[in-house]
Amino acid sequence: MKNPMTIPYKYINYILDEESSFELIKKSIDSIFIEFYKLTGLTQNSKYHDHGTLLSNGEALTPQTAAGCIYDYVRTAKYLRSVWKAVNNKKTGLVTGKVKILYAGSGPFASLLLPLLPLLSENEIEIDIIDFHQGSIDALNSLINYYDYQNYYDKIIVGDATKFQNADNKKYDIILTETMRNGLAIEPQVAITVHLLQFLADAGILLPEKINITAVVADLQSELSTSKSKWKTFWFNIKKTQAVINRIVLGDVFVLDKNVRENYDFSDYDKNLINLKKIEVPKKLGRIKDLILLTTINIFDDITLKEEDNTGLTKIYFDQNVGFLKGGEKLEFKYQLGSYPKIITEILE
């Protein structure tokens, strides 16, 4: 039986309002998604409780784990604001027809788009969905049927987004995929983006618009020190603040955006490699010897996720295969695709 009610407008508007407090955003996200959990029969869990399904291009989160991503509240709110802003941007630019959206890796809730549907007409947008897990698609279909949203959707596909064929030869106005972790490791964000870009309209919007991976030399011992003692914690925090100030920024090693094929060497792509960049480390480092990668996500326009947002997507990424730097090294960065995707660093000298 279809429910004549819809997702409460007030919660959506609280999330979209940039002046809303974190507490109000959290309460609003909880209120929407608790209902989704009840309707789909999934168990609420804010932790990664499994390792997903290992695919040829990375790990696909299971329905349960994908659902739990909503509890990264800052991430969820900023993505919903970005999608809302992008849809309205494309609505303004269209003369006729609907805004065509492809959402790859939707999970069971299509959580970065479905909550916005009460604010949109079925005559304004047309959505295609891809997710690898049948369980996610089954859960999503149950929500679509419950809220009577069938007319917003065209294709709902169970499959690997890196192998999507686009049988209808659509050109999408918006392609949305958030299939990533910090450092662009583990999940297939890069492979999905590179494959789907061929289906983006010339003036189309890729969400996120840009992901910057920046190489930095840091003192991780000082930055990550903790203590149960309040007195020691006070001094550790001072030490950490100074350590962050003293970081040496080497520069961006990878920028994933709609121009990725033009900006990087794809000659070894058939070997599951993208050649990125070479950088020389300053000769004098002092005690700062750890190579880390920082992730910054420009989702859309001025909406950005940064390290200081304390979201799981932008945590420090530390490759344990790279030892302490001595200073003066020449580093070569490549992106390794395949089942365990990540940025790899080679020390040339």
CA atoms within 13 A on the CB side of 15: 33
Do 140 and 247 reside in the same domain of the chain? no
Q: Does some domain include residue 315?
A: yes
Is 1 part of any domain? no
Structure-block tokens of residue 36: 């989704």
Clarify whether residues 239 and 164 are in a common domain.
no
Where does the pLDDT of residue 103 fall: very low under 50, low under 70, confident under 90, or very high at 90 and above? very high
Q: Same domain, yes or no, for 195 and 250?
A: no
The predicted model gives 97-121 an average pLDDT of 96
pLDDT at 2 over 50: no
Whether 186 and 256 share a structural domain: no
4 belongs to a structural domain? no
Cα separations (Å) of 331 from 152, 281, 294? 48, 7, 16
Cis peptide before 341 (omega within 30 of 0): no
pLDDT at residue 72 greater than cutoff 90: yes
**């790859």: which residue's tokens?**
104
Verify that 191 and 231 share a domain, yes or no. Answer: no
pLDDT at 60 over 90: yes
CATH of the domain at 14: 3.40.50.150
Tell whether 222 and 206 lie within a shared domain. no
The phi, psi pair for 279, rounded to 5°, reads -140, 140
Do 208 and 298 form a contact (C-beta atoms < 8 A)? yes
Do 88 and 113 lie in one domain? The reply is yes
Give yes or no: residues 192 and 226 share one domain: no
Does residue 310 surpass a pLDDT of 70? yes
In this structure, the answer to whether residues 184 and 100 fall within a common structural domain is: yes
Domain boundary residue among 170, 194, 210?
A: 210
199 and 226, same structural domain?
A: no
> Of 182, 210, 238, which marks where a domain is finished?
210
d(CA 160, CA 176): 15
Residue 135 lies in a domain: yes
Residue 2 lies inside a defined structural domain of this protein: no
| Of 167, 189, 210, the domain-final residue | 210
User: In sequence order, which ranges of 300-341 are alpha helices (DSSP H)?
Assistant: none
DSSP character at residue 265: B
Residues 233, 315, single domain; the answer is yes
pLDDT tops 80 at residue 121: yes
Q: Are 310 and 78 in contact (CB under 8 A)?
A: no
Tokens 């492979």 found at: 191
Residue 209 has pLDDT above 60, yes or no: yes
Domain region containing 26? 9-210
* % of the chain at pLDDT higher than 70: 93
Complete DSSP assignment for 99-160: EEEEEES-TTTTTTTGGGGGGS-TTTEEEEEEES-HHHHHHHHHHHHHTT-GGGEEEEEES-
Q: Is residue 32 part of a domain?
A: yes
Tally the domains of the chain.
2
In a domain, 131, yes or no: yes
Nearest to 211 by CA among 246, 263, 272, 265: 263
Residue 31, beta-bridge partner list: none
With a cut of 90, say whether residue 185 has pLDDT above it. Answer: yes
Within a domain: 179: yes
Written as six digits, the tokens of 227 are: 């203590």
Res. 3: pLDDT tops 50: no
Find where tokens 């304390």 sit: 310
In this structure, are 242 and 203 located in the same domain?
no
Strands (E), the chain: 53-55, 58-60, 99-104, 125-131, 153-158, 172-177, 200-207, 210-218, 248-256, 273-280, 290-300, 303-305, 317-318, 330-336, 342-347
